[in-house]
Amino acid sequence: MEFRYLGNSGLKISEITYGNWLTHGSQVENEVAHRCVRAALDAGVSTFDTADAYANTKAESVLGEALKGERRESLEIFTKVYWPTGPRGHNDTGLSRKHVMESIDGSLRRLQTDYVDLYQAHRYDTETPLEETMQAFADIVRAGKALYIGVSEWTADQIREGHRLSKELGFQLISSQPQYSMLWRVIEPEVVPACEELGISQIVWSPMAQGVLSGKYLPGRTPTEGRAADEKMGGGMAGFMRDEVLTAVQGLRPLAEEAGLTMPQLAVAWVLQNPNVAAALVGASRPEQVQDNVKAAGVRLEADLMARIDEVLGDVVERDPGKTAERAPQGRVA
């Protein structure tokens, strides 16, 4: 495993970070989830990312149990706040001071820890003054409940304003957690340059484009396994499941073989070539997936291979920076 600094802080994290979105507390039985976490630890992963909204708080509880007994100082534990939790009452969502302050305490109880290394705004809250949110984060840092603050799926302008307020309030905004993959590059034109300027790193989710870059979905065939076969989850993958995209992805297979990598390893290694990326978030529904994916750590792809990947994918790549704002909630989600 290799480690990278997160933003301009002194915090190092494992460049393969274990994330438990869509798995712990929902898709995967707790015993299997624990084995996946153990596989990650055995492979040298020290960084674990979750959120209070995942499986309506159950994912945090499962991760807390799975990490119980590990030396806390050897781990970096991240979680997030924004989406509705609990009974989904009128204050059980967003980034108001009330929700943020109550949510951090709930997360710490479930994770069985006194602090998280990184506390992240899971989305931007259009209904709460940003000053209120950032003051709450500042107070959480001063109370020792979180060491650093990050954001997820914020636009470049929102990140700039959040960073300005964090400096005024005396804490560090050090990370951004966007979707990023060979097929989804919307952060490259605006978010990445802003973050490079401000000393903020990316912790990217869905480096495999929700499984599409694994190559398991074939053009012209109805998926029978994986996320795309699930009615609840498959809808969010529609943009990736077009035949022209799936055909282009199959063209990556010989490139992966030439590099001595599996398709998932190539996808994860690709995002890690971006110097502004500190870590790739990788989930798993079985330990073998963890063991395979961590082999992307430390892989360096030659410039010629990176160029050939671009040629193969061509115009199926989404690059529009406006997609971040377009896909963001326009108001609090109840």
**CATH label of the domain that carries residue 27:** 3.20.20.100
Q: How far is CA 100 from CA 166, 278, 320, in A?
A: 16, 25, 31
Tokens of 311: 């040629």
- Is residue 74 included in any domain, yes or no? yes
Residue 234's pLDDT is 46
Measure CA of the first residue to CA of the last residue in the chain; give whole Å: 40
What pTM does this model have?
0.92
Residue 126's pLDDT is 95
Give the torsion sign (CA, 233, 237, 238, 242).
negative
The alpha carbon torsion through 61, 62, 68, 74 (nearest 10 deg) reads: -90
Residue 142's pLDDT is 98
- Is residue 243 included in any domain, yes or no? no
Residue 237's pLDDT is 59
- Is residue 228 included in any domain, yes or no? no
Residue 167 dihedral angles phi and psi, to the nearest 5°: -65, -40
Strands 173-176 and 201-204: parallel
- Is residue 241 included in any domain, yes or no? no
Q: How many domains does the chain have?
A: 1
With H, G, I as helix, E, B as strand and everything else as coil, classify residue 79.
Answer: strand
- Is residue 301 included in any domain, yes or no? yes
- Is residue 134 included in any domain, yes or no? yes
- Is residue 65 included in any domain, yes or no? yes
CB 49 within 8 A of CB 17: yes
Q: Which of 131, 123, 128, 184 is nearest to 155 (CA)?
A: 123
Host domain of residue 276? 3-216+265-306+319-326
Q: Catalytic annotation on 54?
A: yes
Residue type, 24: H
Residue 96's pLDDT is 97
Q: CA angle 266-229-80, nearest 5°?
A: 65
Residue 103's pLDDT is 97
Strands 3-5 and 12-14: antiparallel
- Is residue 246 included in any domain, yes or no? no
The span from the CA of 33 to the CA of 55, in Å, is: 13
- How many CB atoms are closer than 10 A to CB 73? 6
Q: List the catalytic residue out of 54, 119, 124, 217.
A: 54
The span from the CA of 226 to the CA of 6, in Å, is: 32
Residue type, 224: T
Q: Which residues of the chain have pLDDT under 50?
A: 229-230, 234-235
